[in-house]
Amino acid sequence: MASHRKSRPVGTRVAGIRTPALATAALTSVALLSQSANAAPADDRPSLEEVEKKVDDLYRQAESATDNYNAAKEKTATQRKQVDTLLDDVARRTEQLNEAREELGSFAAAQYRTGAAAPDTATFLLADTPQDYFDQTQLMGRLTNRQKGAVDDYVSEQSATMKKRQEASQSLQTLTETQSDLKTAKATVQKKLADAREMLSELTAQEKARLAAIEKRKQEEAARKAAELAQQQAAAEKAAQETTAPQESTSTATDSSYATKAAKALAFVRAQIGKPYVWGATGPDSYDCSGLTQAAWKAAGVDLPRVTYDQVNAGTTVSLADAQPGDLVFFYDDISHVGLYIGNGMMIHAPKPGAYVREESIYYDGESAIHSVVRPA
């Protein structure tokens, strides 16, 4: 027997109320729009990978600005010494000029007291005797010659003093400009670091944990690459020992001398592990990257320049495969970072703000980040 029940209208039940199909579609559209509106801010939020890259870029830019700061600071110190020397010289010359002026004054006073003037007929006629005339002429001649010498000395000293004053003025102006550069570089470093800290502070605890996991994977990959390099270097060294004839004594002595100095640099840098990175610092309690390598090689009796882009030219460039303990490893196209190679694909360096001097793979930021290897002279 056929059913006589009426079929239910098409629709859905919301909170116990049956809704028609048209109303259901409208509610669905509203819900979708609401979800899209809520999702919009999340779409603008950078991914963790993007955050990590931006933070790393900011740290690199801060290191580059730190090098500019270090260079300006060193230049300021040199120029300040030059200015101090010039000002001391100006003071000394001014004193000599005053003495020459006093000497001229004494001649003028002497002439005034004696009534000395250029000899002429009137002087001859007024003289009591011809002998008196000749005596006065000789006296005035002596006074004139001495006075002429004093005038020459005065003019010469005055010219030299004016020249030194101009040099001092120019040096002061240059010093002021360099101090302005120093201030600008300092502000740039502080701004980059503040931006990096702000980005990190906006991460949730879960995002920070994921970011730490990403960093851990990078470190593991860097360690793997370092181990590969260590194996390659060991194999190359073994092959060289088996196939190469004994080196000349001069070459051996040179290698031995470098190894001795490098050992001192390595001993120093190992003792600094755990000390904080501080931009612009050269020790003994904290370091930036180039401050650490400079101090390490200074302990070995070798003076390196202060900044990375000068240190890279302070020795002989060697291939990565030929790197030896003590060599300097430089990073990035702008040569904004440096570490001290300790062998087996590892280095000791002052990494970045918030970190400490540590031992780490030279591949810590990927193989492409390595710029060059330099053996200090």
Give the residue numbers annotated as catalytic, written as ranges: 289, 337, 349
SS3 call for 174: helix
- Per DSSP, the residues of 127-159 read SSSHHHHHHHHHHHHHHHHHHHHHHHHHHHHHH
Chain position carrying tokens 């492409």: 368
Taking alpha carbons only, the member of 178, 196, 172 closest to residue 70 is 178
Q: Degrees (nearest 5) of the Cα angle 169, 172, 175?
A: 155
Element (H, E) at 353: none
Q: φ, ψ for residue 128 (rounded to 5)?
A: -65, -40
Q: Degrees (nearest 5) of the Cα angle 13, 14, 15?
A: 115
Tokens of 31: 């819900």
Q: How many CB atoms lie within 10 A of CB 357?
A: 23
Length reported for the chain? 377
SS3 call for 280: coil
Q: φ, ψ for residue 318 (rounded to 5)?
A: -125, 165
87: Cβ contacts below 8 Å, ≥ 6 apart: 168
Asked if 161 contacts 93 with a C-beta cutoff of 8 angstroms, the reply is yes
* Residue 235, burial from CB neighbour count under 10 angstroms (0-12, 13-18, 19+): exposed
DSSP 85: H
Distance (Å, rounded) from C-alpha 204 to C-alpha 198? 12
Instruction: Please state the three-class secondary structure of 182-249 as a single string.
Output: HHHHHHHHHHHHHHHHHHHHCCCHHHHHHHHHHHHHHHHHHHHHHHHHHHHHHHHHHHHHHHCCCCCH
